[in-house]
Structures are given as structure tokens and as C-alpha cells.
Amino acid sequence: MEEIMANYSAEWGIWGVLLSLFIEGSAFPFVGTFFIVTMGFILELTWMEIGVISLIGSFLYTVGSYIPYFISLKLGAKLEARLKPEKRKKLKEAQERFNRYGIWSVAIASPLHLGNIIPFMAGMAKMNLKVYSLLTMLGIAPSTFFFLGIGKFYDGDKEMILGVVEEYQMLVVAGFVLVTVLYTLLKRKREKGIGG
């Protein structure tokens, strides 16, 4: 696998990283994190190049994510039209909740494994495209910088560091779920206190 990556990086270089971010953004099943970390090891990038790639890559990731965003926006509207009035009302409430409480989940979850479902959720919730784009770029740019930068800091066992990255992602997901649950419970408790 590493030999294939080395050949690929020699051929495509930085363009391969940018293309991989676009593909990952489109929700096509792709091991983007593994690829970017590996490319960070193989390519000898300066900090300036890593920064520029991270910014351009976050833009391309966002553009790629417009594909699932607009698919779910269109299909969501068609499905919504077929729903019974009470189910349509529940869907509207869920969309409002996502737009009120879930927008930061776009920035937090985009770089994680579950990031592929975020554009679908945002499209179904009819999230403002500018807000969605900004939050997606806000989530992707630092993680891309981090994953490419690992290669500059670490020159030991690559398999071990890739395992750490996978573990790190799972810890962030668990932390995100915990914070979301606690926030929702606290919000409900406050709303009951005000209403009661």
C-alpha cells in the first residue's frame, strides 16, 4: 500500500491531496484521512505549502460536499411533499432544531468519519449554504493541516501513527456525542425551569 501511495504521490503530488479532499467531500467512500496522513509522510512539504494546501483543500472539500448537500435538498423537498401533514410538521421541527443546535456539528464532525453524512443532514435541514460552507471549511482546514503536518513531526513507525490518528478520531466522536447529549439535557432542563 505504501509503495502504491509513493508512486501516486510522485505522479500527482499536491494535486493528489487536493483531489482526495474533493472526493472525500463528495461523500464517496474514500479513506481520506489515511491518504492525507500518508501523503504528509511522503511529500516533503514546507509549513507554508501545508497551510496553502489546507485552505485550498478545505474549499475543494466544501465544493465536493455540495453534491450530497444538493441531492438531499432536492430529494428532501420531494419526500417532504409526500408526507402526511403531521409527519411534515415533525420534519420541520427536526430541521429547525438542526439549524438552531446542529450547525456547529458541521464544523466539528466534517473532518471525522461521520462527516460524510453532514452534507446530507444540512441539505435535508435546508441549512443556509453560506453558513454551511463556512463551517465546513472551518472544520476541514485545521484537520488537513494537522494530518499533513504529522509527517513533519514524526519519523518513526507509520502504521503506529495511523492507528493513533484513527483512535484520535474515535475519541473526538465520543467527546462530541457526550457534549451534545449534555448540552441537550441542560437546555431541556432550563426550558422546563422557565416553563414551570
Distance CA(66)–CA(62), nearest Å, equals: 7
* Helix, strand or coil, per DSSP, at residue 111: coil
Mean pLDDT of 32-57: 80
The C-alpha angle 181, 108, 34, rounded to 5 degrees, equals 120
pLDDT band of 52, cuts 50, 70, 90:
very high
Q: What confidence score (pLDDT) does residue 89 get?
A: 78
First to last CA, the chain: 61
Ranges of each domain in the chain: 2-195
pLDDT by residue (tens digit) across 77-114?
A: 777 777 788 877 777 776 776 667 667 777 777 776 66
Mean pLDDT across the chain: 75
- Does pLDDT of 2 surpass 70? no
